[in-house]
Amino acid sequence: MHIPDGYLSPQTYVPLYGVFIVSAAAAVKKIEKKMDKKLIPYLGMAAAFSFLIMMFNIPIPGGTTGHAVGAAIIALLLGPWVTFIAVSVALIIQALVFGDGGITAIGANCVNMALVIPFVSWAVFKLIAGKSESPGRLNIAAFMAGYISLNIAALVTSIELGIQPLIASGSDGNPLYAPYPLKVAIPAMAIEHLLLFGIVEGIVTFLVFRYFLKNNKEMIGVIK
């Protein structure tokens, strides 16, 4: 899901940089006001966890790979704003040091993975779990939070890529950036995430959530 350089036009990546910067400023303010200072060390641990899990790429047909992000479970534990900062740090390090994701696409990648996934996962969990205290229902809600949030992020990414031929073409009509239209980009991203990567994200979210539910329930921010 990491978008490299050269795939997004300035008409796309500049506004997404703006969304990222505004969101980062909002996140810092939220964390300063509401985050328990005792949880600050967990921010670094969350960034490291996300960084590590994104390094495990799964090869798929077509010569590409995919991975879980870990943002869903971090959001359920620490909240979406903390997750936004933690995952953004991981993504920025990956782009600057390891070349995983483009420099021009940092804003887009952070919006797609560090902003969309945490807030969607939080909302999905709340919707499915409701006020239930049943471990079974809570665990199902955790899995679905991971599964759905990653697929929504993949959909957003595919739309960003798929609109490039519409908004940035040369005088000869050929795309200047990502060449595949929406009718190609959306199915290509959706199928692999619906059938594989979303399930991986869901399982990771479920397993970590279940552990905390059994052993350290007070750490789970989404059910406080």
HEC sequence for 163-203: CHHHHCECCCCCECCCCCCHHHHHHHHHHHHHHHHHHHHHH
In a domain, 1, yes or no: no
CATH code of the domain covering residue 101 = 1.10.1760.20
Residue 60 is predicted with a pLDDT of 66
In a domain, 2, yes or no: no
In a domain, 15, yes or no: yes
pLDDT reading at 61 higher than 70:
no
**C-alpha angle 84/86/88, rounded to 5°?**
65
In a domain, 26, yes or no: yes
In a domain, 4, yes or no: no
pLDDT reading at 160 higher than 90:
yes
Q: How far apart, in whole angstroms, are the C-alpha atoms of residue 29 and residue 23? A: 10
In a domain, 196, yes or no: yes
In a domain, 139, yes or no: yes
**Residue 210: band (very low, low, confident or very high) from pLDDT cuts 50, 70, 90:** very high
How far does Cα 37 stand from its chain's mean position? 25
Residue 89 is predicted with a pLDDT of 95
In a domain, 5, yes or no: no
Specify the pTM: 0.93
The whole-number average pLDDT for the span 50-71 is 76
Overall domain count for the chain:
1
The whole-number average pLDDT for the span 133-154 is 96
The whole-number average pLDDT for the span 191-204 is 92
Token pair 């993504």 is found at: 91
Mean residue pLDDT across the chain:
91
Domain of residue 209: give its range.
10-223
Q: What is the pLDDT of residues 99-137, one digit of tens each?
A: 889 999 999 999 999 999 999 999 999 999 999 999 999
Residue 19 is predicted with a pLDDT of 98
Residue 171 is predicted with a pLDDT of 83
Given a contact cutoff of 8 angstroms between Cβ atoms, the answer to whether 58 and 67 are in contact is yes
